[in-house]
Amino acid sequence: MLNKFRGDAALLAPAPAMLEAKTGVPTVACIPMQFDHGLPEEDGVFDDRGSTGAGQAVHTTIAIVAYPRISNLDEFQPLLQVPGVRVVWARSPAQIAGADWVILPGSKATASDLQWMRHQGLDAAVAAHAKVGKRVLGICGGLQMLGEALIDLHGVDGNEAGLGLLPLVTLFEREKTVRRVSAHLPALRGAWAALQGVDLQVYEIHHGQTQLRSDMEAGQTQCADEPVPGMVWQSAQGNVWGTYWHGLFENAAVVQALWGAKTPSLDDVFARMAQGVERWFTVKM
């Protein structure tokens, strides 16, 4: 079986016959390259063309900052399937400029990826996006970046100033928190209010412990708060949201609440691919 072929299978001839002559093993099928397969992406190598609304007119553009040490990409696969949602893997300020959402994903090296963002000018672009009231979501390492400071006393990740979009300080610890979590979302503010009452199955994997520092918002009439202690923080305006929870968008109820849409589950994806294999194997090489 030849996998990921990018063209007319007939063009392979006479290679299949030659392979069988040399090895005694026949070629039984040719599976074409699948771009819109629906499987989660790998952290290191992924299709960075993004998506264009799942075949419908685009109503929401989401820019996911693709720093060099990005992690847990699989949790964003459902976004590529939402009708009308366009996903952009952002590596420059221009790719953020027209977005409705900006997501700072997890990172294998948060301090280093923050430095990379500053070198690219993405720190200013994210701040400008938040300043006009558009949504910013930070997940795990991305949450830590949203705060005021990263403090590393044990050589885990590195010290670095944060983006200052939430009054948070993160202290890295030697031991990593790794656990699955069942959660129920309480009342949320502003742009995230649609998620109130949603039940989640999520997970944590992080070294940092983050604390809200209300003293860093001196003079503010309304302050950031912590609707889920130690796990979820939101800005005073309600447009900036940070959490340690991975897997938010893998919960169908979250996608339904935010966009009123359903996306295929992994079971659906595997079933579709199995049907494809049956079809491709009917063509003898």
Catalytic positions are 140, 246
Distance CA 148, CA 256 (A): 33
- CB contact at 8 A, 278 and 174: no
62, two tokens? 């989401």
C-alpha closest to that of 141 among 133, 150, 154: 150
125, two tokens? 């672009």
Burial of 204 (0-12, 13-18, 19+ CB in 10 A): middle
Alpha helices in the chain (DSSP H): 15-23, 94-97, 110-120, 122-131, 141-146, 252-259, 266-280
C-alpha closest to that of 49 among 90, 83, 82, 85: 90
Q: Which residues contact 67 (CB under 8 A, 6 or more apart)?
A: 107, 113, 116, 117
The count of residues in the chain is 285
